[in-house]
Structure 1
Amino acid sequence: MSEDHRPPLRRAWLLLPILIWGLLTVLTLVLMQFPTGPQLFLGEHWFPWSWLLTPVAAGLMSSLALWLRRFDGKRRIGFRVALLASAGIVALVIAGLAWMRHTLPSEGSRRERIALSSESGSLVNVDLGQGLRLVYSPFIPVDAQGRTLPHQAIRPEVGMGDQDVPAPITEQSLANLVSFSMAYGHLRWFHPTDAATTADWDRLAIAGLADMAKAQNAKELRDRLQSFFAPVAPRARFLIGGQEPEPLALPEGTQGMVRWVHEGAYSISRNIHPAKGPVRATRLGSVVVTWNLLHHFSPYPEEVAAPWKSALARSLRSVAEASTEADFLHAFRAFTSIHRDAHIWPRARNFDPRGHSLPFTIRIAEGRAFVDRVAKNQDPRLTPGCEILSVDGKSASDRIHDIASEVSASNPGHVRRGCELMFPGQATDGNATVRWRTPEGVVVESSLVPLKEPLTPRGSSKQLREIQPGLWYIDVTRPIATPRETMMALEQAKAVIVDLRGHPADGFLEMFLMPRLIDGPVHFQPLAIPIADRPDRTSWVWKELSRPVIVPRGRRLTARVAFLMDGEAMSYAESLLSLVEHHHLGDLVGEPTAGSNGNAADISLSGGISFHWTGMRALRHDGTGFHRIGVRPTVTVVPTVHGIQAGRDEVLEQALATLAGK
């Protein structure tokens, strides 16, 4: 029987590759719409998705031709060769993607088994203060079944009890809590016994604090620590004075060792779960967990190592003395502000000290607060440019100072912007007594009704507008509803001002505008996550991550471009502005960005506290540091009292002058 006259069922197997090639064609066409994405093969070498279209289309057409059987033998051989070649190319791409998986930001904590060696007998010696030391090994012996020795099959029970940490807290109790806190972090994350992996460490933190606070001296504290941690760390030893640790002999039946390996910070944060207990101990537990988490796993430890270590005792005291939910939240924010990570802004689950808003927004210059926008139906004497003097009897300068003490920021611009956003917040919906001075110098006092929703800082000005003939302004911190039509307008522009004072609202910049500003592929900043198997950030290994790339798309814009930025621009906004800075894609006008880039990890703590923190290291394109430095402007503009009172946008004005001078 000739091949052309085979029964249809004999050729039905070709329907499967036709379906597969069809799906691959559609997928390739979809991927071609996105100018950003990971490179496929060799690190920095870019592989555009469009390159796949030819082999995928050839595979689809060859499969269809073989299924239809409309061609002679020689042509069928050609189609088979084309089909095999297409399959080989696609297989090579898939292999490249598989090879690249190790550069993707997938992470987790795992116990890694290792062979017995001289290193496996090493000890960690931790100074806990009060003449106390914790001595333990980060390597735990295991038997043939992989169980840690000495084996404890029962999950440790955590007795919470009703007794709380006493208040006011004594100096001895405070020193006890500091010692416990330091030991807790080491044994939770670097002592991988079977019992430790199943223990409820968040409940242990609360129970341990209440127990250790009772110790009257260092010797009693040593005994309490040894007894408390024995179920989860039977080989750990707490020593006092000049005691020397006894050698840790390997138990009978030892077949190897295990150690903790923590790859990245995100899985660690996800494994922290809120627990409930006595009020003060529960709140203090959130401090203990947070301090250890950032101490052992922050990718920027060298930046704040000394102040962070000294912050533990001070923060434990302030949280222990907090009498209300508001006091607790303020104390916790003051604690985390020391870390100087702009991603951090703790929130309380059951309390929002700024759940309502005064009916105006402000801008700050020289430490003074000036009205920027006013809600409708308010006191007509309150107008933009008025200086706020006090709110409910508290001076504006004190209000700014209190907010600034809670902002975890790395530069003055970010602190000021945080104060501007938080200043109008009110805890209740009751009327607020506000005093202000008008631009004419008249002092006014009035009772204002707070809003349920805060005013937007930028108002309702047009997101896309032609400021002057041929000079366009676009605010990318608000969603771009019609990106293609917007690009058609910008194609005719002689100059474009891009406002990125804040966070980009959507993908307009990287998907539509920036591909029209470049001649070749541009990569984002180098990013990495730490791999930790020892405490105190020793022996870290950095895992470099794949860097997304933006590729040219369409005819390059001829317009001159200026980007507006300030301390509110952080995280992904800094990724985009770093591209502008490194590749000289336009002028940068305003103030330095926040200097906190890299994916943020989420954490929910006991006491109802939650926050984000930076779990990834970002560097500049040249490999130098970025944290707390940020993207620096080519033209620096800081708001002035005169400019604010006159209602001027001085950053925008400077951008206009800069573009006009070119």
Structure 2
Amino acid sequence: MKKITLFFLLLLSQITFGYAKITETEKLAATCKVWGYLKYYHPKVANGDFNWDEKLFEVLPKIESAKNKEEYSAVIEKWIDDLGVVPTNKPLADDPKKDFFNENLNLDWTQKDKLFSKSLSNKLKFITENRFQGANHYVNRDGKEVSFQFVNEPEYAEVLWTNKNLRLLTLFRFWNYVEYFFPYKYKMDQKWDDALVEILPHISASASEKEFLLAMREISIKLNDTHAATFNMQMMQYLGGEKYTAFGTKFIDDKAVITTIANDSLAKIDDLKIGDVITKIDGITVAQKLDELLKYMQGSNRPAAILNGALVMFTGNTDDFEVEFIRDNITSVKKIHRYPNEKIKRSPPKNSPNWEILEDNIGYVKMNKVPKEEVPEMMEKLKNTQAIIFDVRNRPTYTDFLVSEYLNPEPKPILRLLYQDLSYPGRYYFSDEMEECGKINTDYYKGKVIVLVNSGTHSFGEQTAMSLQTAPNATVIGSQTSGADGPNYYFKIIKGFDSSFTSAGVFYPNKKETQRIGIVPDIEVKPTIVGAQQGKDEVLDRAKLFAKNGK
């Protein structure tokens, strides 16, 4: 009797499990993944034989009606069957000389998703084993500034937040772009599958335009990539506003320190001074305000995200706001004005030399100012200095490889690049050739090479720092860099929604990572509030000290 009872209990549990209700989020998450997978793997879809967006719109009502796993799987199986027979097309064996990178490749979900029947999983497995091998209709390497690109994506009219189909399409496109073609997916804080499940309800059931737009912004920030963010004109209204202050700040110890004045006359109206420490905005601490902003601020690491947060912290749509601030150890509260950008009439930057020789025979080069044609004369006049300080804290001009020809006795490898394997979406491979800098030069510079970096050292700036690091006597001084080396690919998700991310991986020659980590300083120097108040450049001061005594 006990055995019979146990048998019926097991049978009942299997039936209950098989026909358990499933949520809309579960169904839409699985559909997003299947839709993207078929887009890049199914031979007829990847070949462009169908209007794949329309196929999504057609199947969504059927998916919405599915009440359990069996009904859901049946809808998806019929969807796949209607695409036609998948011919046997087993890919050629991998080239053993090819250096493949599989950290991002994971199709286990096709076999393990709780919504999939065994029959559906088998269909997906067969498609993987016989995946499309031709020129994909939706992605190629024929771009100009950045070779990798998404193509043949209908833009539609301006996306209205009230159109659920277009909201879902916007999310589905972006999620799958990242799933198969973002080289640093494996470095993200949150699993990409979990990010989809978290954001989906805010897209599928948006209660307002603001909720939809900020959800699209938030999921792009989850890439943890300083290059990655989604933009929409109305979205920026919600994030910041159209009016600006007459000052600029830096965040030091979770406090906003005024470090620049954009317009002297406007700053005098509010009695603002460099060195004022702002601790609250409209009664909210700056630290709290920053934490609220960071989920919408792109950054491979916290310092990079904070740098971007500083740009919108004080913007808004009102004419004024209240701040609490500290000056001369006295805490005060007052109103601060905001202005349209055109009214601020920002003061032009002060003229300063592109390069110069400082006291103690130390060269100082602003890499964001020196043009290529100036490099030969500059290096000739600096060749007898005891040290050259290369400042890479702002985006450099394209002089890095040329400068390195004067710093190295021979060519040196700088980095190796990681590219998408378009024949196997989600897999990557290292380029056969490493990027190099320098040349045979017996008369190379023999003094100390000092490289200044901080969170403003971003992308090409990080590559510049890597090239300067190859010098025989190089030292990096400063703080954590942006952590987003590699080409930044700007693309349109759908009309009105522009986005971007790092489209090729950049590693040191030994495959040491740079993404999120950045260029690690040999000597770490972080600005202090006192230093900012005194107008000091503490990183440069530390570099001068090192140039003189090597410590």
TM-score class, shorter: 0.7 to 0.9
Q: Cα deviations across residues 537-559 of structure 1 (Å, max 9, x unaligned)?
A: 4xx55443562533357953454
Q: Which residue of 2 aligns with 1:291?
A: 175
Q: Cα deviations across residues 559-597 of structure 1 (Å, max 9, x unaligned)?
A: 433211012323222222122334445221111322222
Indicate the SS of the match to 1:596. coil
AA matched with 2:510 = D
1:350–1:608 CA contact under 8 A, matched in 2: no
1:359–1:424 CA contact under 8 A, matched in 2: no
Q: Which residue of 1 aligns with 2:12?
A: none
1:404 is aligned to 2:294? yes
Q: Which residue of 2 aligns with 1:432?
A: 320
- What does 1:167-246 align with in structure 2 at a 5 Å threshold? 172-193=23-44, 197-205=48-56, 208-209=59-60, 212-232=63-83, 243-244=118-119
Indicate the SS of the match to 1:377. helix
Equivalent of 1:372, from 259, 266, 275? 259
Equivalent of 1:502, from 371, 385, 394? 394
Equivalent of 1:573, from 458, 461, 464? 461
Equivalent of 2:236, from 340, 352, 363? 352
Residue 489 and residue 535 in structure 1: after superposition, are their counterparts in 2 closer, same or farther (change >3 A)? closer
Indicate the SS of the match to 1:373. strand
1:608 is aligned to 2:496? yes
Residue 243 and residue 444 in structure 1: after superposition, are their counterparts in 2 closer, same or farther (change >3 A)? closer
Report the Cα offset of residue 528 of structure 1.
2.7
Indicate the SS of the match to 2:31. helix
Q: Which residue of 2 aligns with 1:259?
A: 133
Q: Which residue of 1 aligns with 2:545?
A: 657
Q: Which residue of 1 aligns with 2:449?
A: 561
451-460 vs 620-629, greater mean Cα deviation = 451-460
Residue 210 and residue 580 in structure 1: after superposition, are their counterparts in 2 closer, same or farther (change >3 A)? farther
Indicate the SS of the match to 2:39. helix
Q: Which residue of 1 aligns with 2:487?
A: 599
- What does 1:109-128 align with in structure 2 at a 5 Å threshold? none
Q: Which residue of 2 aligns with 1:474?
A: 365
Q: Cα deviations across residues 348-385 of structure 1 (Å, max 9, x unaligned)?
A: 15553345432211111121111111222124321111
2:412–2:470 CA contact under 8 A, matched in 1: no
Residue 299 and residue 493 in structure 1: after superposition, are their counterparts in 2 closer, same or farther (change >3 A)? same
184-193 vs 434-443, greater mean Cα deviation = 434-443
Segments of 5+ residues of structure 2 without an aligned counterpart are 1-16, 88-109, 124-129, 142-146
Residues in 2 aligned to 1:519 and 1:462: alpha-carbon distance in whole angstroms? 31
How many pairs were matched up? Answer: 483
2:372–2:398 CA contact under 8 A, matched in 1: no
Equivalent of 1:384, from 274, 279, 284? 274
1:275 is aligned to 2:152? no
Q: Cα deviations across residues 123-150 of structure 1 (Å, max 9, x unaligned)?
A: xxxxxxx979xxxxxxxxxxxxxxxxxx
Q: Cα deviations across residues 202-249 of structure 1 (Å, max 9, x unaligned)?
A: 45556655663454444443444345555446669999676546988x
Residues in 2 aligned to 1:577 and 1:386: alpha-carbon distance in whole angstroms? 32
AA matched with 2:325 = R
Computing the radius of gyration over CA atoms, which structure comes out larger, 1 or 2? 1
Indicate the SS of the match to 2:225. coil
Report the Cα offset of residue 624 of structure 1.
2.7
Q: Which residue of 2 aligns with 1:25?
A: none
Q: Which residue of 2 aligns with 1:628?
A: 516
Indicate the SS of the match to 1:435. strand
Residues in 1 aligned to 2:189 and 2:326: alpha-carbon distance in whole angstroms? 46
Report the Cα offset of residue 618 of structure 1.
1.8
Q: Which residue of 1 aligns with 2:191?
A: 307
Report the Cα offset of residue 522 of structure 1.
2.3
Quote the RMSD (CA, aligned, Å): 3.8
Report the Cα offset of residue 654 of structure 1.
1.2
Residue 224 and residue 619 in structure 1: after superposition, are their counterparts in 2 closer, same or farther (change >3 A)? same
Segments of 5+ residues of structure 1 without an aligned counterpart are 1-129, 133-169, 249-255
Indicate the SS of the match to 2:306. helix
2:451–2:477 CA contact under 8 A, matched in 1: yes
1:527 is aligned to 2:417? yes
AA matched with 1:358 = T
2:486–2:503 CA contact under 8 A, matched in 1: yes
Residue 217 and residue 590 in structure 1: after superposition, are their counterparts in 2 closer, same or farther (change >3 A)? same
Report the Cα offset of residue 347 of structure 1.
1.5
Residues in 1 aligned to 2:470 and 2:413: alpha-carbon distance in whole angstroms? 10
Residue 320 and residue 460 in structure 1: after superposition, are their counterparts in 2 closer, same or farther (change >3 A)? farther
AA matched with 2:538 = E
Indicate the SS of the match to 1:501. coil
Residues in 2 aligned to 1:456 and 1:378: alpha-carbon distance in whole angstroms? 10
Residue 327 and residue 463 in structure 1: after superposition, are their counterparts in 2 closer, same or farther (change >3 A)? farther
Indicate the SS of the match to 1:176. helix
Q: Which residue of 2 aligns with 1:127?
A: none
Report the Cα offset of residue 490 of structure 1.
3.2
Residue 230 and residue 257 in structure 1: after superposition, are their counterparts in 2 closer, same or farther (change >3 A)? closer
Residue 180 and residue 389 in structure 1: after superposition, are their counterparts in 2 closer, same or farther (change >3 A)? same
2:405–2:437 CA contact under 8 A, matched in 1: no
Report the Cα offset of residue 338 of structure 1.
2.0
AA matched with 1:319 = I
Q: Which residue of 1 aligns with 2:407?
A: 517
Q: Which residue of 2 aligns with 1:490?
A: 382
